[in-house]
Structure 1
Amino acid sequence: MPSFAPRSSQSSAAWRLSACIGPRNAVKRSRNFARGKEGLVSKTGRLWFAVVGLAAGALAVWSGENEAREAIRQADIAFSKATVERRLEGFSSFIAEEVTTIRPNQPLVRGKRAFVDGWAPLLNNASRGVTWQPLLAEASSSGDLGYSVGKAEWTKSDAQGTRVVATGKYITIWRKQKDGSWKVVFDSGIQDKPPDTK
């Protein structure tokens, strides 16, 4: 007895195709259609995996930048603390050999010795001092270079022993060393205009 059960959409499509173009051609085209669907699924899967891979890579880069950014911020805090506690010696310990800076009315200063020598008059004088605090830090996507920007405070005692304070801003560029530490490769700053005392 012939069965009148409802055909699935795929078998119904194959039956109509067979009726129009003949059984042999219908089977051939049906197989091609199935292969086309499989190919589409395969391409979609590959695209999905590519998207997931790109997202994972971007997340890894973002995570690395965050770690480097925080490492730079902490290095800058430690730099200021070492300078306060150990003066010129502490300051010098954070300076890279290839450091560079710019100063008003002076040639470009290059090299650790010349850079540190420029700070010696301030840091070897017990009546003077400097502290600073990073306000922000940024890092490259490679995670081995970055900068910090912050506010600084210079202090000294005048002839009467009164403490005089000057404020300013600075930018420091850091490079990660082979041992994982961060060293200063560029540093410069500006002092704020003194307040009007009139």
Structure 2
Amino acid sequence: MRICRSAVLTVFCLFLVSPVVFAQLPLDPLVSSPQAQDQNPLTNPSLSPGIQFLYQLEAKFAADTARGGGKAFASWFADDAVTLSNGKPPVVGRAAIAAAATWTPQQYQLTWTPEGARLSPGGDMGFTWGHYQGVSKDREGGTIQTTGRYMTVWKKQPDDTWKVALDASNDGPPAEGDCCRLPN
């Protein structure tokens, strides 16, 4: 089905099994309101406990990745997880994700900040979204920076740990004026 090919709608196909579940999702006005965007969601004490929990998971995931690179990044994924990226086919399964995530923190620094989250009514799935930045070096030592949006779908595992079920990202738009310049 064409609708389920986009990252956001794929999450809804995975996460929201029925329209009834979708209708029951709590909409936290503190996450969606313009005032909340002016506050740091990681330190806002008025967020619901479920949203705070998802932000804490993201913070641990990001810190591990900053310290351990691709190996640490891949360790957060469920066995049957999926990653979706711009212009690339889906990567399915933790083993395949680990095989693709071979960077070290010295080669590539991936950082991200959540801007919003939702936890399912049953408390066993949730998702976060926000902004990411990747920084690496080209062959001449120049800095290469990528930025964009991401979404992480979290799922509680049978052993009560939480793992990433889906990680989707898309590159941000080019910087103003980059449209028609020729590469150096």
Q: TM-score, normalised by structure 1?
A: 0.59
CA distance in 2, matches of 1:82, 1:137: 20
SS of structure 1 residue aligned to 2:73: helix
- Cα deviation for residue 145 of structure 1 reads 0.3
Give the one of 149, 158, 163 matched to 1:183: 163
Pairing 1:156–2:136 present: yes
Give the one of 166, 169, 186 matched to 2:146: 166
Give the one of 53, 58, 61 matched to 1:71: 53
Paired residue for 1:96?
A: 78
CA offsets 1:139-163 (integer angstroms, 9 cap, x no match): 1100110100010001012333232
Structure with bigger gyration radius: 1
RMSD: 2.4
For structure 2, list consecutive stretches of 5 or more residues without a partner in the other structure. 1-27, 29-46
Q: TM-score, normalised by structure 2?
A: 0.64
Q: Percent identity?
A: 26
CA distance in 2, matches of 1:166, 1:110: 23
Letter of the 2:125 counterpart = L
Residues 78, 165 of structure 2: 8 Å contact kept: yes
SS of structure 1 residue aligned to 2:155: strand
Residues 85, 170 of structure 2: 8 Å contact kept: no
Larger RCO, structures 1/2 (Cα 8 Å, 6+ apart): 2
Paired residue for 1:114?
A: 96
CA offsets 1:172-195 (integer angstroms, 9 cap, x no match): 100112343321000110111221
Letter of the 1:71 counterpart = F
CA distance in 1, matches of 2:51, 2:137: 36
Residues 83, 91 of structure 2: 8 Å contact kept: yes
Task: State the aligned residue count.
Answer: 133
Residues 149, 171 of structure 1: 8 Å contact kept: yes
- Cα deviation for residue 104 of structure 1 reads 4.8
CA distance in 2, matches of 1:95, 1:112: 6
Residues 68, 105 of structure 2: 8 Å contact kept: no
